[in-house]
Amino acid sequence: MDAEEEGIRRRRRFGSLFAAVWAVYLIEPLRRGCELENPVARAYTLAVIVAFGACYIWSYWTLVRGSRPVGAAWPPDPGLRTVLIPLVAQTALILAAAVTLHSSVLSMSVYLASYIGFSAPVRLAIPLELALIVAFGVAPQLVTGRPPEWGLIQSIALAGFAVGGIRVILVRNHQLYLARKQLTELAVAEERLRVGRDVHDILGHSLTVITVKTELAQRLVDLDPDRAKTEMADVERLAREALAGVRTTVGGLREVSLAGELANARTALRAAEIAAELPDSDDLPIRHSVVFGWVLRESVTNVVRHSGAAHCRVRVTPTSIEVSDDGVGMSDSARTGSGLAGLRERVQATGGTFTLANRPEGGLRVLASFPATIKEPE
């Protein structure tokens, strides 16, 4: 049994129990029926009152028994017909009991008021409650020349108001449950997106450098075996670092810094035989270090993998980082790649502006900038 089916069963039980609790007040009409001297009238009255109690409980059970789609409002917002059919049945049984109990059955109208308050939305419940007050608390008394039954009118109004309040509480609680469920699903989706983006960025950069170094080692294996061994040792180190990075990223523990990515960029560009103009690692801004590190990582990965550039330049200020190259630039399809899309999301999520454009003199320019007053999230 799934959670939705179990929820439906709980609603059925709740509806039946809620009605059954109030059915205890039928003891008084039953007592009056037992006091009737005519055995036929007594049997008739008891049967009608028992039928009314069963109909009352059935009305609640019917209201909550239907399978509701996930996210639907509960208690359901029924139409006029859904409310009126059980209401008419209950009213008919009260009138049937009035044949023998006469005005004593007027107090049973409180059951109708409670059912209306629970089953009908406010726009429908108010006119129905007013009609009930007139039909049971005012009209019979006026016909017999007596003043209205103010106590009965008060009981009808209080029953409708109290049970209607319970309905509102149930609706609000259900809406709160749905809101919390939606927030939980959004948080899970956002976390999955973050982890996927981090893994892409880490593996994309590391595997690019590994590929470049492996190709270089293959060219040097006969020309310079010692250099080839050094490059393959770097490949092994990078592979281990990538594996560790994936593990810590999945665990939410991966930290990226501008200084660390600057060192990785220097290694990657040198392995790709791309001349690099990089800032001094001793003169780096502290603010925005993490997001700057991601920008540098993804940008250098694209330079090494796609640009065909001979030169790459990185400029860093306290509020911006710019990575440019003299390669072939980037096509429109590449602009919307998952790496750059994730990079844009990272920058914008921290209050920055991300710019990606081909340079007029050739090559690509990546710029992430932040207002001077923006504060980096902790």
**Considering only 148-162, 208-222, 323-337, which range has the smallest mean pLDDT?**
323-337
3-class secondary structure, 353: strand
Mean pLDDT value across residues 296-322: 88
User: Which pLDDT does position 250 carry in this prediction?
Assistant: 57
User: Which among 49, 61, 50 is positioned nearest to 17, based on CA atoms?
Assistant: 61
d(CA 146, CA 144): 6
Q: Looking at mean pLDDT, say which of 88-97, 133-142, 252-261 comes out highest.
A: 88-97
Give tens-digit pLDDT for 124-137: 888 888 988 888 88
Judge residue 358's burial from the number of C-beta atoms within 10 Å of its C-beta, 0-12 exposed, 13-18 middle, 19 or more buried. middle
User: Which pLDDT does position 378 carry in this prediction?
Assistant: 43
* CB 69, CB 110: distance < 8 Å: no
Cα distances (angstroms) measured from residue 149 to each of 107, 110, 140, 142: 10, 13, 9, 10
User: Which among 339, 252, 330, 236 is positioned nearest to 294, based on CA atoms?
Assistant: 339
Which of the two residues, 197 and 270, has the higher pLDDT score? 270
Give tens-digit pLDDT for 289-308: 888 988 998 888 888 888 88
Task: Judge whether residue 48 has pLDDT over 90.
Answer: yes
For the chain, give the percent of residues with pLDDT over 70: 80
User: Which pLDDT does position 376 carry in this prediction?
Assistant: 46
347 CB contacts (<8 Å, ≥6 apart)? 291, 295, 353, 354, 368
User: Which pLDDT does position 179 carry in this prediction?
Assistant: 79
348 CB contacts (<8 Å, ≥6 apart)? 354
Longest dimension (CA), the chain: 121
* CB 112, CB 60: distance < 8 Å: no
Per-residue pLDDT band at 322 (split at 50, 70, 90):
very high
- Residue ranges with strand state E in the chain: 275-277, 311-317, 320-325, 353-358, 364-369
User: Which pLDDT does position 43 carry in this prediction?
Assistant: 93
Task: Judge whether residue 36 has pLDDT over 80.
Answer: yes
d(CA 322, CA 297): 12
Q: Looking at mean pLDDT, say which of 162-171, 269-278, 327-336 comes out highest.
A: 269-278
Per-residue pLDDT band at 362 (split at 50, 70, 90):
confident
Task: Judge whether residue 149 has pLDDT over 90.
Answer: no
The total of other beta-carbon atoms located within 10 Å of residue 349's CB is 11
Task: Judge whether residue 171 has pLDDT over 90.
Answer: no
User: Which pLDDT does position 143 carry in this prediction?
Assistant: 79
